[in-house]
Amino acid sequence: MTAIEDSIKVEVKTEYIEEQSDPIEERYLFRYTITIVNLGESAVTLKSRYWSITDANNHNSEVRGQGVVGETPRIEPDSAYQYTSGTVMETPLGVMEGSYTMITDDGVSFKAQIPLFRLAVPGLLH
């Protein structure tokens, strides 16, 4: 990881959405809130995202797209950008990880890693 990649910190909080899930139909909805913190000295713009989502049956899906939630946010130094999104899985347990493609005002492109995080129905794991 280079110094510029180290300047972006990604924090994740997850939530199981019981009222929109249907275990009988193997439909488990999870919400995740991402906070992207710019610890660097220059502003960056989030251009695209990549997700790898794996459920408990080891079924993997990949998602690629421009920006996040319809935006390509510019994040100033010492500030943060937060958004909430969601995913549906066929199992009550899974993991997600990925990366954001960021670009500095100087035109330098780099990947900011999204750490592996777990999606789990409460009470499923101890």
What does the pLDDT look like over 90-120, one tens digit per residue? Answer: 999 999 999 999 999 989 999 999 999 999 9
93-107 b/e with 16+ CB inside 10 Å = b?
bbbbebbbbbbbeee
Return the pLDDT at 38: 96
Q: How far apart are CA 54 and CA 69, in angstroms?
A: 21
DSSP string, 31-63: EEEEEEEE-SSS-EEEEEEEEEEEETT--EEEE
Tokens, residue 53 = 């989502």
pTM: 0.91
